[in-house]
Structure 1
Amino acid sequence: MTSSVELTLLIVYALSFYLFIIHRSLQIARDHYAKLYGLRSGWIFHRFNDVSDAQWRNFRGNLMILTLVFGIFTLVATSCRKYGLKAKGMSVVWLMVSLVYLTYLHGACVLYILSIASANFLLVKICGRTKFVFLLWIFNLTFLICNRVYEGYPFSLFGQNWAYLDNYRGTFRWHICFNFVILRMISFGYDYHWANYSNRFDKEKHIQRCSNCSSGRTCYQLLQERSLENGKFSFTIYLCYLIYAPLYIAGPIVSFNAFASQLDTPQKTHSLKKVVWYGLRWVFSLMLMESMTHFFYYNAFAISGTWKYLSPLDIFIIGY
């Protein structure tokens, strides 16, 4: 059998498989939607929308404020750079805007974020220049587990005098977003450690081998791997890195070195065309997610327990 025939058979198989999955998913959604939790009136063909997942529901509900925040950030960034603000100045601006944004999201729970972040900063400054940097992992993993076990720590745990703050916990669960913050805290700690203890990255050899760097531009790997001067590891830049609003909820995660380097000079690796194309891909992904939650109620089946009464084939489709 030739490779072209094999490819044709694989394509036919894949199309048949997914067409069947889509057909059956639509059928079970139509037959059982009345028994499902978390369905709301939708905007696509007047179908119900599956918003049973808390993270997706929160993200979708705050999409307008997210868009507004990103617009403000773009405007502020352009304005500040015209006045020649560098890393420390830019970090103060970002920090102020991000704190306003976090207060809207988490309300009084911002106190938890700032407290844990401050403790981590002190730990890094104490242990970062030693071989005991592994304590950073223990500290962060401990809080990662405790945050979930105690569901973000009700203020009533600390006494009834603080219980009233539980009425001001914002619109988004802080301990869910804090998973990304923990990754950033670890990144800060290890970048500080490697800057002061050991760094095997050969900058000159990298520039010779990298097409971007050899042409005068700076690639992301160089931003990420090269060590920064100690002045960049300040508390202001650190806190700005942790809660930088455009990357706060969904990332992507960047290393502290790369983030701090780009406070001075914006990235030049990706052209405007690539950035626009990335934006279009994001819009397509959003529309795809909206379509799936309007037509296929997979998560609603899972949390409603209705899947228990379905056939093995239907359970496979929902799980798949």
Structure 2
Amino acid sequence: MNTLQYAGRLFSVDTLDARFTSTTPQSRIDPARPFPNKASYNVSRDGRAGAEVTAKGVSPPRWKSPEFFYHALVFLVVVPLMFKTVYDVSKSSHPEYHRFAHLLSPGWIPGRMVDNSDSQYSSFRENVPYLFLLMTLHPLLRRLFDIFYSPVDQASKSKLKITTIGGNSPLSSDYARAERRLNERVTFDVGFSILFLIALHGFSAPKILMILYINYTIATQLHRDYVPAATWIFNIAILFANELGRGYPYSDLANFLSSWSYLRDSPKRDPIANWGTVLDSYGGLTPRWEILFNVTVLRLISFNLDYYWSLDRTEGSPIEKKQFDPANLSERDRVDIPAKHQDYSFRNYLAYTLYAPLYLAGPILTFNDYISQQRYAPQSIDWNRTLLYGIRFLICLLSMEVMIHFTYVIAISKAQPAWAVYTPFQLSMLGYFSLHHIWLKLLLPWRLFRLWSLLDGIDPPENVVRCMSDNYSVFGFWRGWHRSYNRWIIRYIYIPLGGSGGPSTRGKLGQVRAVFNLLVSFTFVAMWHDIQLRLLVWGWLISLFVLPETITTLLFPRKSWEKHKEAYRVICGIGAVGNILMMMSANLVGFAVGLDGLKGLVQGIVGSYSGLFFLAVACAALYTGVQIMFELREQELRRGIKLKC
């Protein structure tokens, strides 16, 4: 295999996540039907695509057309200029350097300082060596545990039965093997996760376990009609309580107890007041557990609602009724088919909510999917693909290191510079590279923890499908960014609210309802990230910016332009440029410079004729980028890959 072929496999969507290119699992194939059209499944299991085919509705390649020679020229000129511009404003010779120099630290690249001023990424960066060690030891410990573990004695084995269509029969060997695997893995997960939790949070671990127990009680002890409402109220209340209570320090509890009237004059008052401070001093590696708990809240809701929906299951297993192979279920089946009633035990719940590889940042795995993968090893995990995925992670990590050693965008924005000193092009690049820094600092932990999970035998969804610079649609960006969270929102919020409506509300009414449901969903997304006004504004802006895309889709339906495809492509390109500008604005408000910072950036860009001229040139360059994005997606379609982002 030559270098180009290896690079093609390394950066293929199949390496990123086998869900994007794998054919339908055998459990979903009707043997009475012919195999699906080859054009729909033209990528092999190892990601090597066959010869490109022109599927229905897909245009022939445009890469060698005169238009794309122009786009290539623009790309080759503009992209290096973008990097050079940010590099120039980061030099020690720049007039504003003195404002942010104190935020820089000595770097490992000779002659370069490093911008490690982002506290979130700095924490991750410092702990990367320890995380690598942990993700190596954890799978090895599991394998040692599997060797010495004996789940049940022979007497209890003989009592196990399975109900089949014909009645009771002895447990099949496949079923016994699956149950043993589930029991082994969950037992190890509970033990390891408790130790992991104590190491991370010290004496705060009991607070987390108490929250988990209350949530489990809501699901299993309340009348089923109250479970959904009680689940949402409790978990949203926990988000606010964790924020306002700052993780409930023991010192606050001790002060409260010491304030009781009968203890005011007690000689034991001082010891009572001091024990809280002592416990708080042993907060583990991550004392502020409440910051990381938001991801666990999603798992708490997932368990409760999966359990609630499982109560609606009629007699008999859906797997038996549809005659699926339980060892080869599609991801959709693993998520949708409820686990067995006995699977919703507190032990399984504890193993799921505290599963070490995904505990800190995800990706998000539903409870049903977790139990299914614990019982049957997912066939999507391939060691060669996992190795390529690990190499791809290292490339992303190196890219981030190069970026923070040569471009100091975070330090510049934190120093609150005099924006008037920068040219419109420099201002736009500061905002653009700030977004790239945010994209990378979130991508890296998500991929590292997913890699850890893959090494452990669990295949969660990939969170980031496309590069930040390869997005032109608000809907597509939301589907491909934090993808597992997007799917969680759809399953547990958007669809229960009604989605875009049923057949009776299709068309314009369905679109209005879909936008309203998106507004509710993004409001929760903003609160979940952090209870801050700027994030609420971000959520509402994203919902608002869906409207132009929705309206133009209604005004310019694709079917009406079948005879004018080239004109339609141009119109879509112009609309996509507007989408990109709006998405950049919303994300700068929510995650980078805030409202005031965005105001300074915008005024600096459009506050002069030269700035307006630059904006026009920038839009033309974005149009080139959009056309390249369009063609990349057409190329995927020619290979039988259809992604909704």
Class of the TM-score when normalised by the shorter of the 2 chains: 0.7 to 0.9
* Deviations, residues 151-210 of structure 1 (Å, cap 9, x unaligned): 3333332233323333222333312221111111111111111111258x96579878xx
Q: Cα–Cα, structure 1 residues 305 and 104, in superposed 2: closer, same or farther, change >3 Å?
A: farther
Q: CA deviation at 1:121?
A: 1.0
Q: Cα–Cα, structure 1 residues 313 and 240, in superposed 2: closer, same or farther, change >3 Å?
A: same
1:35 pairs, out of 96, 99, 118, with 99
Q: Note if 1:156 corresponds to 2:156.
A: no
Mapped to 2, the partners of 1:167 and 1:303 lie a distance apart of 30
2:214 pairs, out of 102, 119, 125, with 119
Q: Match of 1:94?
A: 189
Identity fraction in percent: 29
Q: Note if 1:273 corresponds to 2:387.
A: no
Q: CA deviation at 1:254?
A: 0.8
Q: Match of 2:347?
A: 236
Note if contact 2:307-2:344 (Cα within 8 Å) is conserved in structure 1: yes
Mapped to 2, the partners of 1:206 and 1:307 lie a distance apart of 66
Mapped to 1, the partners of 2:357 and 2:118 lie a distance apart of 22
Note if contact 1:301-1:307 (Cα within 8 Å) is conserved in structure 2: no
Q: Match of 2:618?
A: none
Matches within 5 A, 1:12-27: 12-27=73-88
* Deviations, residues 79-124 of structure 1 (Å, cap 9, x unaligned): 3334465323422322222222222222222232212111111111
Q: Cα–Cα, structure 1 residues 269 and 155, in superposed 2: closer, same or farther, change >3 Å?
A: same
Matches within 5 A, 1:157-236: 157-160=252-255, 161=273, 162-172=276-286, 173-198=288-313, 203=319, 217-236=328-347
Q: What one-letter code is carried by the residue in structure 1 that aligns with 2:212?
A: A
Q: Note if 1:305 corresponds to 2:416.
A: yes
Q: What one-letter code is carried by the residue in structure 2 that aligns with 1:318?
A: L
Note if contact 2:300-2:353 (Cα within 8 Å) is conserved in structure 1: yes
Q: Match of 2:502?
A: none
Note if contact 1:40-1:51 (Cα within 8 Å) is conserved in structure 2: yes
Mapped to 2, the partners of 1:49 and 1:205 lie a distance apart of 60
Q: CA deviation at 1:44?
A: 1.9
Q: Match of 2:142?
A: 77
Note if contact 2:219-2:227 (Cα within 8 Å) is conserved in structure 1: no
Q: Cα–Cα, structure 1 residues 23 and 273, in superposed 2: closer, same or farther, change >3 Å?
A: same
Q: Match of 2:538?
A: none
Q: Which moved more, 1:9-18 or 1:117-126?
A: 9-18
Q: Cα–Cα, structure 1 residues 150 and 50, in superposed 2: closer, same or farther, change >3 Å?
A: farther
Q: CA deviation at 1:255?
A: 0.8
Q: What one-letter code is carried by the residue in structure 2 that aligns with 1:137?
A: W
Q: Which moved more, 1:155-164 or 1:50-59?
A: 155-164
Which of the two has greater helix per residue? 1
Q: Cα–Cα, structure 1 residues 33 and 178, in superposed 2: closer, same or farther, change >3 Å?
A: farther
1:314 pairs, out of 415, 426, 439, with 426
Mapped to 2, the partners of 1:317 and 1:295 lie a distance apart of 14
Residue 379 of structure 2: SS of its match in structure 1?
coil
Alignment length (residue pairs) = 313
Q: Match of 1:130?
A: 225
Residue 130 of structure 1: SS of its match in structure 2?
helix
Note if contact 2:181-2:374 (Cα within 8 Å) is conserved in structure 1: yes
2:125 pairs, out of 32, 39, 60, with 60
Q: Larger relative CO (CA 8 A, sep 6+): 1 or 2? A: 1
Q: Cα–Cα, structure 1 residues 102 and 34, in superposed 2: closer, same or farther, change >3 Å?
A: farther
Q: CA deviation at 1:26?
A: 0.7
Q: Note if 1:5 corresponds to 2:102.
A: no
Q: CA deviation at 1:27?
A: 1.0
Mapped to 2, the partners of 1:180 and 1:10 lie a distance apart of 42
Q: What one-letter code is carried by the residue in structure 2 that aligns with 1:194?
A: W
Note if contact 1:180-1:251 (Cα within 8 Å) is conserved in structure 2: yes
Mapped to 2, the partners of 1:207 and 1:220 lie a distance apart of 16
Note if contact 1:53-1:299 (Cα within 8 Å) is conserved in structure 2: yes
Note if contact 1:130-1:197 (Cα within 8 Å) is conserved in structure 2: no
RMSD across aligned C-alpha pairs, in angstroms? Answer: 2.8
Q: Which moved more, 1:300-309 or 1:60-69?
A: 300-309
Rg bigger for which structure? 2
Q: Cα–Cα, structure 1 residues 91 and 318, in superposed 2: closer, same or farther, change >3 Å?
A: same
Q: What one-letter code is carried by the residue in structure 2 that aligns with 1:163?
A: T
Residue 269 of structure 1: SS of its match in structure 2?
coil
Note if contact 1:88-1:237 (Cα within 8 Å) is conserved in structure 2: no
Q: Match of 1:286?
A: 397
TM-score, normalised on structure 2? 0.45
Mapped to 1, the partners of 2:313 and 2:184 lie a distance apart of 29
Runs of 5+ unmatched residues, structure 2 = 1-60, 151-179, 256-272, 433-645
Q: What one-letter code is carried by the residue in structure 2 that aligns with 1:80?
A: F
